[in-house]
A and B are shown apart, each in its own frame.
Chain A
Amino acid sequence: MTDIYRASPELALLIAAGLIVVVDALLPLLGREAWSRRRVIAAGLALLGVVASFALSGILIADKERGTAFDAMIALDDFTLFFNFLFAGIAGMIVLGSIDFLQRNRFQAEYLALVLTAAAGMMLMAASQDLIMIFVALETQALAFYVLIGFLKDSRSSEAALKYLLLGAVSTALTLYGMAYLFGISGETSLEGIAQFVSRADSDSRSALVLAAAFLGAGLAFKMAVVPFQMWVPDVYEGAPTPVTAYLSVASKAAGFAVVMRIFLVALGEGLITSDWANMFAAVAAVSMTLGNVMALVQTDIKRMLGYSSIAQAGTFLIGLAAVAAKDPQLELGSASVVFFLGTYAFTNLGAFIAIIAISSKIHSDKIADYAGVYKRSPYLALGLAACLISLTGIPPTAGFIAKVYVFNAAVSADMVWLATIGVINSVISVYYYLRVVMNMFTQDPESDVSFQPSMYLGAAMTIAVVGLLAVGVYPNPLISASEHAARVFA
């Protein structure tokens, strides 16, 4: 029973996913009226699942329940709880953001069930502390995403799904290879067991460990969408349904980082190769930021632009990860900054994507040039999108500003001024492409003067995101403290 209690936030989502499909199948029996409202019923059930998951996480906190479950396969600690909230919140926003788009699709229930399944998978990714469980969670989440990306079944969506599937398979293979290496040399699958082996390891096993770290890093780089495994990002972001793109860009990335932090900070955290992987992440961070930003500069499609920008943002998170190990393993500032950044980035990028869903569905275009004069047609959406883009740039008083200051501070504390400098130069580059959208919306004249409003669901989701990013920007302490509690798990 304790096991189930400790995993209840994940299970709530899975049960809701199952319920949605079953209820949807039974609805025709309840008559025409019920059938005509199936979209609202399915979405309502999905939101109910999200709220239940939230509530259960809250109860677990109030109960001070901590520990492991299912034979130490998953851990219930502050880190898990932080991500439970994060993924449940993201899933709720994605459900709100998808209701309009589902109007024209008959597989509404399946879509929503997959969104919840993916969220449960990602929660498990953050909670797992055993290689086998990590792999199962990874695949749960990946399978849901394969279907979601191809959901539109048009040529671009299908191409995107195929690309994601093929590259995902390669990355899975790399991850497995790295896991096999770790298991091979240590004889353990649990991260704690591996950690004990690594802390005792002598230089004979060094090369094997470096190889394992490299393979794991490479396989998970696909999930985090950082160089050199970022090639899929722009095409998949462009082709996938926009809510799924939003989901991929915040949740899948965050889950990738959560797993990386579990594996590298717990299993490989202390021992002879710490500085090796720190340098690896520092290099990947520098290249990802620069490549992502430079490529984003030349994009004309807003979804592709956000795709490249998400590569650059992921590079910025990696600064924090590189800072963890660069100096000494006691320095949790780096991991706290990654967790904090993931939380703020989730709000910000989701808000941006939801505004884009609302705007693009009315102007029927994803081209940045077509965003001209949106302010005159829908001031509310234009202001919301502008707030999110300003936060992504890192201009105060937004969450993005605090996140950047916090992560650069971690880099400076770890003697990595060079990496912080590359980071800030990249911020300057990013001003151009983020504010270009703002400029188009506010200073150009629209082609048509017809004003429009976001739907209730999209408006609500965007408002939550914008209020959140401003609140964290003005009073960051609660989220800082939550991130630091989460990071303390690795102390």
Chain B
Amino acid sequence: MPDFATIIIFFPLIGAVLVATLPKEQEQQAKYVAAVTAAVVFAIAAFMFVLYDRDDSGYQYIDSIVWLDSAFSDFKLHYAVGVDGLSLPLVVLNAFLTLVAVLISFKVEMRPKEYFAWLLVLETSLMGVFCALDFVLFFLFWEVELIPMYFLISIWGSGNRVYSAWKYVLYTFFGSAFMIVGILTLGFTAGTFDIRELGNIDAIHGAIIPAWMIFTLIIIAFLIKLPVVPFHTWLPDAHTDAPTAVSVILAGVLLKMGGYGVLRLAFNIMPDVAYDARDYLAALAAVSIIYGALMTLIQKDLKRLIAYSSVSHMGYVLLGAASVGVVGFTGAATQLITHGLITGMLFVIVGMVYDRAHTRNIGELSGLAHRMPFITVMMLVAGLASLGLPALAGFVAEITIFLGSFESQKVATVVAITGVAFAAGYILWTIQRVFWGPPDPKWAELTDADAWWERGPLLALTVAIVSIGVYPAWVVDLLRDGVTPIAGRFAG
């Protein structure tokens, strides 16, 4: 009997096959099949979260079989999956946001079978990335994710969708091309691709290329995904042109693959090199935070605005990682979760505004609060969480990161903290322009979010954001247990 990790990876795929094979006449049922699948996956994820043995901080729900066995060398690949404190919350996040994405897509009428099938395939690939315990298997899922994203952006997107889909695929593929060389070199040197074993090797000695080169080959893919300036230019385009639900997954889960990779793979496997690289990474993080914040201030398109704010916020993740300590790592991991929830929620809201007003141009929108009070309240929650208001989730992550990084990265931390001031600026200014202000007669016809599949996801996201903000321990403790072994690698 396969364990939970295997089930949660492949259950969405089964749902995808069911959706794709629906008869043509019943293609409007696709959304219900997808919703049921996503709900079951979320239930499984919740089970995993509850049943996870918190006294044993190691990997759990493990399945491991030999998948590719070469008789000639150490080239042995395993199908090995499992979760620990770091990956389990990400698995839950993925299950939650995919359910949200499916629900808010209920009005998609163009080729619905394929649309929902690709969403579920995407969920499978992301589950695989977070659960994989074999580096090549991780890479496999990392690459599989390209196909659904490519189709989702290029077929159901808007604007310059084909160009954006291309840009997304080429950037990612460029990064992963180097990553596979790094993985193979690492695996060849260490004699294993098992992430658990790689995380116990003292140092990479006797590699055919220097260790820092392997580290660079691997981390580039993660920095592109995160994204860090100057590798970020794919993100605003992909976000702007992707359909709303895909933006939610993209900001909420896909970017987290980068942060997860930095901690779990680059830092965990090669701590000595990561330690030497920490100042460069902190500098990159500070640049991303400030550059992203400044770019956010001048955006006119709501989706682009949130996309650039993501660049800024994901910079905090790298800053937390560059602090090379358990507090900073915990903060970085928490930021992965909280940013996923908050930005996911922001994209849901922007999508709802766009569906009604058919514009995302901040200059054209005004006084929406009069027409859509519910959406406005939700926007306030998400916005205040995004700028780091205490008692909401964003604050927890950012304060932890700053506490962790101030000791070891003083300059970068001070620079990064000014980013918080910018965040307050762009969030409040945006809410002010779009939602407050005099009601524009042009928007007199707009309706509030009334359908259950619109209100439900927003309320659920609010609950998650507030509960982490008020009582962070239920998530943060788990994440801390997850990153403690990684931090332990830097202690010596």
Contact = CB atoms under 8 A, between A and B. Distances in A.
A421 B154 CA distance: 29
A395 B155 contact: no
A471 interface: no
B355 interface: no
A1 to B, nearest CB: 34
B69 A395 contact: no
A354 interface: no
A415 B70 contact: no
A425 B177 contact: yes
A408 B169 contact: no
Contacts of A406: 70, 75
Contact of B185 (A331, A332, A412, A432): A412
Contacts of A420: 181, 184
Interface string B147-170: 100110011000001100110011
Interface stretch (A31-39, A88-96, A243-251, A435-443): A435-443
Given A390-B147, A442-B151, A336 B72 contact: yes
A417 B185 contact: yes
Interface string B117-142: 00000000000000000001000110
A403 B471 CA distance: 49
Interface string A413-427: 101010011001101
A481 B66 CA distance: 13
Contacts of B180: 404-405, 408, 424
B144 A395 contact: yes
B170 A428 contact: yes
Interface size class of A (residues with CB under 8 A): 35 or more
Contacts of A417: 181, 185, 208-209
B68 interface: yes
B220 to A, nearest CB: 12
B389 interface: no
Interface string B73-110: 10100000000000000000000000000000000000
Interface residues of B, number: 38
Interface in A206-225: none
Interface string A98-133: 000000000000000000000000000000000000
B148 to A, nearest CB: 12
Nearest to B73: A333
Interface in B180-230: 180-181, 184-185, 187-188, 208-209
A292 to B, nearest CB: 17
Contact of B162 (A396, A432, A439): A439
Nearest to A432: B170
Contact of B72 (A333, A390, A404, A428): A333
B112 to A, nearest CB: 14
B280 interface: no
A425 B177 CA distance: 7
Contacts of B144: 395-397
B67 A477 contact: yes
Contact of B154 (A396, A443, A475, A487): A443
B63 interface: no
B177 A427 contact: yes
A297 to B, nearest CB: 13
Contacts of A18: none
Contacts of B70: 333, 336, 406, 480, 484
11 contacts: A336-B72, A396-B144, A408-B181, A413-B75, A420-B184, A424-B180, A428-B173, A439-B165, A477-B66, A477-B67, A484-B70
Interface of A: 331-333, 336, 390, 395-397, 401-402, 404-406, 408-409, 412-413, 415, 417, 420-421, 424-425, 427-428, 431-432, 435, 439, 442-443, 475-477, 480-481, 484, 487
Given A401-B143, A477-B69, 13 more contacts: A333-B72, A336-B72, A401-B140, A409-B188, A415-B208, A421-B181, A427-B173, A427-B177, A431-B170, A432-B170, A443-B154, A476-B67, A481-B69
A-B CB proximity, top 8 nearest: A424-B177, A412-B184, A396-B140, A333-B72, A443-B154, A428-B177, A415-B208, A412-B188
